[in-house]
Every structure is written in structure tokens, then in C-alpha cells.
């Protein structure tokens, strides 16, 4: 009897082994087909990337194009205590993440952003509940359009340039169909066909760490949002381009923005979107609009084949050897300029200072050589006729341009002197002292230029006054209040160092994997003004670990 029991137990263990380890593709039963996104690496049963799959590199199977393959089952891997990920078994010991799948049996794949109950057509729960990591099929209809309508709350990218919006049919305003008489809430869907399902908004997000908000100019405020706090958001903007882009969400019914992150916004899976950054937890994103610093516009060259664009000075004369490489440039004002020799008046766009652009678009090179300094760009103009029309504030009107070469009037000189006095007073204030070095440089140059322009003509006086006023609008220095000067919180500490890095001139603050700082740093407020001081650490202390520094530092001295 014991021997018989041992045989049965042995057979039972054998069945468990077969169940635990997938059979080869030749023996396993085909479950269906999946279309897998390009650049998906084949993995092992634990979710680790394979080096080789069926004799070839495991990252080459889905390298350039999405590919349809057979699958033989779904495998779940518990990566952490709270995180489980699903994988499709494609045979021969290979697995692909379920969130890399575009189509399941030829139908759109759905990826969830939270656990989701299933409802019937009467909106009653059926008792079935899908976990966030379980893949589903979208069984509803889709409308393709060149633009979204007012009633279209959800959409995703269709892949069609003429009709980019794929708008899923929503049942009873809230639900998406996943089968016959089976629906799930649309708000619980992260993506369809591996394209993020964007929502019209507003949306609710959770703050993942203590963080300060930004104002409408994206200058940091003193308003601290705390970890775990729920916030309603009603707008998304992007600052920058390419891999150096940043995304911000506006807090509903305010002028405050919270930083979401960088390219994580484009994450194609909820897994990446949730775990790749530490700022905001967002279930569904909103479409992002462009942010341009100041009263700036993109000016696009009419001739896309032009390799360089000529710049001009205040008289409309070409600046020798100074050309712009980028056909998409930032301009912040328009001026009619009178050429004193030809007496011809022509419309020009004022080129925004490259360093001010750098804070949001730092990878863009406006100039074609290192000698094209900020001082050239402060006075640099581009011919409006070479660009598509831009809507900009007027620096010098067409009427004023006719007499711009004449001596300035007493009232013009008085107005400029008033602006000069105002700027000199601003230089003594916190808003100037704690602004980034480039912003201070802009005001310094504008002030120097205005003082020289006092002996100039009407046109030079007008431009100098505008430049000085414009430079003041970019100042963003602000005190950093702290709760306990001897025990800074992480958010306060990070903010102090953002002020340090912004306010310190280039080359003074070194970075090589970590800040080269003094062993002890102090923060103090003198006469209610935050001052910044940087003490460079000698080479012998370069290897001090950041976490050790954070424990030992109790005070920070900051100066510009």
C-alpha cells in the first residue's frame, strides 16, 4: 500500500513539474497569436533578458518591426511584494512582456492602470475582477479623426498622420467593451494597441514626494505639495524638445504647475510610467501643449533647405560671419528697422538670448560658432520675410521707424533714465541676486547698453528701453524658506542646491557624478535675504559618498 502511494505521489509531482515549466513549442498547445512591438527583448521565465533566443540575439527578434508570433500561455512573475508582471510564453523558453503586445488574436490589446471590475450592459458588476497586470482585448469600435470633438473624452494615437486621433466608442459615457455584455471602466485603461489612452481631463494625481510647485512662467514657488497628497490637474505643457523635454501639469483652477518628469510621459507601458519617476502618480495622461519662455514664439524658416540664416544689427545690416544654424528659432519681439544708407524700412524679428532658451531648450544650438556670444544675440535680428508669420510684441513700429535715425527727444531720454534707475535698484534686490547667472547677465548687458544709448538716436533709445524692460521680466530669484535651519528636509535641501546651481556662474560649480562641495555646508539668512556661497572641495575629498554627506551636513552656507 505504501509502495502504491509512493507511485501516485511521484506521478502527482511529475504533473506539477510539467505545469510549472512550459513545454517546448512543438509539444505545447497553441493558445493564439500576439503582435509584439518592435525593440522587445525576449526574456526567460523570471523576466530576465536573454542573450540568445533560438540561436540568435534575443533583442533582434522584434528589432525593427512589430511581429506576429504564436503564444502558448501566460506566465506571471512576482517582481516585488506589490509588483507582478505578465509574460506571454512564445515557446523554446522565450517570454515577452504582456505590455509589449499590440494585438491579441488580431484584436487591440488593452493594458490596465489599476484593478478593474467587469460590468454588464446594465452596469452591474458581474463578479469578475481583472488585476492591473492582466492583459485584455478591446472589443469595441473606433472612430478615426483629424481632430477631437468636444464630446470625445478619450483618444489614442491611430498611427495615421491625416487622422491621428483614434477615438474609442464609450458605453454610457464611462465604459469600454471587452466582450459580449462585458465592460470595464475607461478610466482604468492605460493603453489600447500599446498607445496611451489620453483623457480630456481634468484628472486626479497623487504626489509621490514632497515637491514645490512652479508658476505660469515655470519659476519655482514657495508652495510645498506633500507626499501622498491628491491633486486635481487640468492642463499639461511641455518645455524643451527631444530627449531633453520636461512635462508639467497645472493644478486645477490655479496658476501653479507640478513637474511630472521628462520622457517618462511618453512611456508606452503603465509599468514604465509608474515606476520610472518619483514625482506624480497619474493613471491617464492629458495631451501636452507647448510652453515657450517669456513672450516667445517659434519662428519657422520658409526655406527648409536653407542651411544657415543671416543675422542683422539695429540698422538692418548683416552681421558678418554670424549666422543661425537652426531653422526653428526663438524670437521675442518684432521691429521695423531703418537702414540709414538705403533709407529702406523692413520688418525684423528679434532673436531671443540663447542662454535664456537654454534653461528649457538647452540642447538647441542657435549660433554657428562659439564667438556668437550672448551680446550678439541681445542685438541680433532676423529678416521677417525669411520666416513664416509670427505674432509678437512690437519693439519699433513702422511709423516710429521713419524717424528712428533722428536725435532722441527729451521725454524719450527721461523715460530711459527712469528705466535705468529702476534696473539699478533691482540689482540690489533678492530677485536679482538669486536669479540664474544668465538672467543676471541679461539685465547687466541691457543696463550697460541703455547707459550707452543715452547718446544715441530715437531707434537706439527705443530698443534699449525695451531690452531693459524685457530683461527684468526674466528674473526669478526668490528666498527659500526653511522650517528648521539646522535640520533641512530633503525637499528643502534639494531646493537650496537648485538655487546654488542656477545662481553660480558656469565653471564655478563642478560636477563629476556628484557635486564637489565643502565638507560642511551651512545655510543662513542675512538681513532676511538668502545668500549663496559655494566652497569648492579639494581633490582629496572627491570620493565622499552623497548619503554620508547628507547625514553629516547640518547647515548650508549659500552665496552667489
457 bridge partner residues: 407
Task: Tally helices (H) and strands (E) across the chain.
Answer: 11, 37
Strand 230-239 and strand 288-290: the pairing is parallel
Mean pLDDT, residues 55-83: 88
Q: Which residues are registered as beta bridge partners of 88? A: 74, 96
pLDDT score of 512: 34
Q: Which residues contact 394 (CB under 8 A, 6 or more apart)?
A: 333, 334, 335
Side by side, which strands form the sheet with 94-97? 74-78, 84-91, 94-97
Average pLDDT rounded to a whole number, residues 515-520: 34
Cα 415–chain centre separation: 41
- Alpha-carbon distance of 307 to 523, in angstroms, equals 49
pLDDT of residue 295: 61
For residues 279 and 10, give the distance between their C-alpha atoms in angstroms, rounded to a whole number.
52
Between residues 270 and 530, which one has the greater pLDDT?
270
Gyration radius from the chain CA atoms: 30
- 3-class state of residue 414 by DSSP: helix
Is the separation of the CB atoms in 556 and 521 below 8 Å?
A: yes
Q: What is the pLDDT of residue 529?
A: 34
pLDDT in the model for residue 155: 93
Phi then psi dihedrals of residue 198, to 5 deg: -85, 145
Q: What is the pLDDT of residue 318?
A: 86
Give the residue-averaged pLDDT of 423-437.
90
Residue 169, pLDDT above cutoff 50: yes
pTM of the model: 0.69
Mean pLDDT of 384-410: 91
Q: How confident is the model at residue 505 (pLDDT cuts 50, 70, 90)?
A: low
DSSP 148: -
Angle made by CA atoms 494, 252, 238, in degrees to the nearest 5: 60
Give the whole-angstrom CA distance, residue 437 versus residue 467: 17
Q: Output the pLDDT for position 245.
A: 80
Handedness of CA 25, 26, 29, 31 (dihedral sign): positive
Which phi and psi (to 5°) does residue 388 adopt? Answer: -70, 150
Question: What's the average model confidence in pLDDT over 201-230?
Answer: 90
Torsion angles phi and psi, residue 406, rounded to 5: -90, 160
Q: Write out pLDDT tens, residues 115-163.
A: 999 999 999 999 999 999 999 999 999 999 998 888 899 999 988 888 9
Provide the pLDDT for residue 109: 96
What is each CA distance from 151 to 53, 64, 148, 166, 173, in whole angstroms?
A: 47, 37, 8, 14, 10
Cβ–Cβ < 8 Å for 45, 86: no
Residue-level pLDDT at 461: 95
Question: What integer pLDDT is reported at residue 250 of this predicted model?
Answer: 95
Q: For 37-46, 199-208, 534-543, which range has the lowest pLDDT when averaged over its residues? A: 534-543
pLDDT band at 266 (very low <50, low <70, confident <90, very high): confident
Question: What is the pLDDT at residue 355?
Answer: 56
Bridge partners for 251 per DSSP: 233
**Distance of alpha carbon 32 from the chain centroid:** 38
Cα–Cα distance, 350 to 381 (Å, whole number): 5
Q: Which three cell numbers stand for residue 249?
A: 501639469
pLDDT at 289: 85
Reduced to 3 states (helix: H, G, I; strand: E, B; else coil), residue 218 is coil
**Confidence bin at 274 (pLDDT 50/70/90):** low
- Cα separation, 12 vs 39, in Å, equals 40
pLDDT at 540 over 60: no
pLDDT at res. 325? 67
CA of 419: how far to CAs of 373, 426, 448, in Å?
25, 10, 12
DSSP single-letter state for residue 23: P
Q: What is the chain's mean pLDDT, rounded?
A: 79
CA atoms within 13 A on the CB side of 256: 16
> Do 397 and 524 contact (CB within 8 A), yes or no?
no
- pLDDT value, residue 522: 37
The mean-pLDDT minimum among 1-5, 234-238, 495-499 falls in 1-5
pLDDT tens digit string along 16-64? 333 333 444 445 688 899 999 998 999 999 999 999 999 889 888 888 7
Cβ pair 95, 50 in contact under 8 A: no
Q: Rounded to an integer, what distance in angstroms lies between the CA atom of residue 334 and that of residue 387? A: 12
Residues in the chain, how many? Answer: 560
Neighbours of 6 (CB within 10 A): 10
455-465 tens-digit pLDDT: 999 999 999 99
> pLDDT (tens digit, 9 = 90+) per residue, 313-365?
888 888 876 777 666 677 889 999 999 888 899 999 998 766 554 444 433 33
pLDDT at 553 over 60: no
Amino acid at each position: 500500500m505504501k509502495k502504491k502511494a509512493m507511485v501516485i505521489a511521484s506521478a502527482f509531482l511529475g504533473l506539477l513539474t510539467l505545469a510549472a515549466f512550459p513545454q517546448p513549442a512543438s509539444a505545447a498547445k497553441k493558445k493564439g497569436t500576439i503582435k509584439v512591438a518592435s525593440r522587445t527583448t525576449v526574456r526567460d521565465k523570471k523576466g530576465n533578458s536573454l542573450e540568445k533566443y533560438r540561436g540568435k540575439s534575443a533583442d533582434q527578434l522584434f528589432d525593427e518591426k512589430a511581429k506576429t508570433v504564436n503564444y502558448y500561455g501566460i506566465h506571471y512573475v512576482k517582481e516585488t511584494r506589490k509588483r507582478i508582471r505578465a509574460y506571454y510564453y512564445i515557446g523554446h523558453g522565450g517570454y515577452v512582456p504582456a505590455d509589449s503586445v499590440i494585438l491579441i488574436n488580431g484584436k487591440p490589446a488593452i493594458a490596465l492602470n489599476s484593478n478593474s471590475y467587469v460590468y454588464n450592459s446594465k452596469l452591474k458588476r458581474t463578479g469578475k475582477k481583472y488585476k492591473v497586470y492582466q492583459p485584455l482585448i478591446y472589443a469595441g469600435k473606433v472612430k478615426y479623426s483629424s481632430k477631437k470633438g468636444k464630446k470625445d473624452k478619450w483618444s489614442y494615437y491611430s498611427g495615421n498622420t491625416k487622422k491621428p486621433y483614434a477615438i474609442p466608442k464609450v458605453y454610457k459615457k464611462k465604459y469600454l467593451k471587452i466582450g459580449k455584455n462585458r465592460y470595464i471602466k475607461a478610466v482604468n485603461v492605460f493603453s489600447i494597441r500599446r498607445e496611451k489612452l489620453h483623457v480630456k481631463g481634468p484628472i486626479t494625481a497623487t504626489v509621490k514626494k514632497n515637491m514645490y510647485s512652479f508658476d505660469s512662467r515655470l519659476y519655482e514657488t514657495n508652495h510645498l505639495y506633500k507626499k501622498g497628497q491628491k491633486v486635481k490637474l487640468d492642463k499639461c505643457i511641455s518645455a524643451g524638445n527631444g530627449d531633453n523635454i520636461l512635462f508639467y501639469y497645472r493644478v486645477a483652477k490655479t496658476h501653479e504647475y507640478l513637474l511630472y518628469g521628462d520622457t517618462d510621459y511618453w512611456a508606452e507601458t503603465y509599468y514604465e510610467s509608474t515606476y520610472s519617476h518619483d514625482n506624480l502618480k497619474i493613471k491617464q495622461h492629458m495631451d501636452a501643449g507647448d510652453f515657450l519662455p517669456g513672450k516667445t514664439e517659434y519662428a519657422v524658416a520658409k526655406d527648409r533647405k536653407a542651411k544657415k540664416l543671416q543675422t542683422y544689427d539695429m540698422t538692418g545690416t548683416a552681421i558678418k560671419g554670424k549666422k543661425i544654424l537652426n531653422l526653428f528659432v526663438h524670437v521675442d519681439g518684432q521691429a521695423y528697422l531703418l537702414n540709414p544708407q538705403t533709407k529702406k524700412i523692413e520688418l525684423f524679428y528679434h532673436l531671443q538670448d540663447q542662454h535664456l532658451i537654454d534653461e528649457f531648450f538647452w540642447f538647441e544650438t542657435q549660433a554657428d560658432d562659439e564667438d556668437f556670444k550672448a551680446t550678439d544675440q541681445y542685438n541680433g535680428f532676423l529678416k521677417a520675410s525669411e520666416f513664416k508669420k509670427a505674432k509678437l510684441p512690437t519693439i519699433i513700429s513702422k511709423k516710429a521707424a521713419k524717424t528712428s535715425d533722428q536725435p532722441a527727444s527729451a521725454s524719450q531720454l527721461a523715460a530711459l533714465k527712469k528705466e535705468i534707475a529702476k534696473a539699478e535698484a533691482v540689482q540690489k534686490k533678492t530677485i536679482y541676486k538669486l536669479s540664474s547667472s544668465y538672467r543676471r547677465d541679461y539685465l547687466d548687458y541691457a543696463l550697460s547698453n541703455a547707459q550707452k544709448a543715452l547718446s544715441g538716436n530715437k531707434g537706439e533709445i527705443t530698443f534699449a528701453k525695451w531690452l531693459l524692460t524685457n530683461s527684468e521680466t526674466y528674473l526669478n530669484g526668490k528666498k527659500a524658506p526653511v522650517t528648521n535651519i539646522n535640520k533641512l528636509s530633503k525637499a528643502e535641501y534639494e531646493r537650496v542646491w537648485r538655487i546654488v546651481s542656477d545662481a553660480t556662474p558656469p565653471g564655478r560649480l563642478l560636477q563629476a557624478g556628484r557635486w564637489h562641495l565643502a565638507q560642511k555646508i551651512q545655510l543662513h539668512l542675512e538681513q532676511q535675504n538668502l545668500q549663496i556661497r559655494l566652497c569648492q572641495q579639494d581633490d582629496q575629498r572627491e570620493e565622499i559618498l552623497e548619503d554620508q554627506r547628507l547625514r553629516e551636513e547640518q547647515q548650508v552656507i549659500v552665496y552667489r
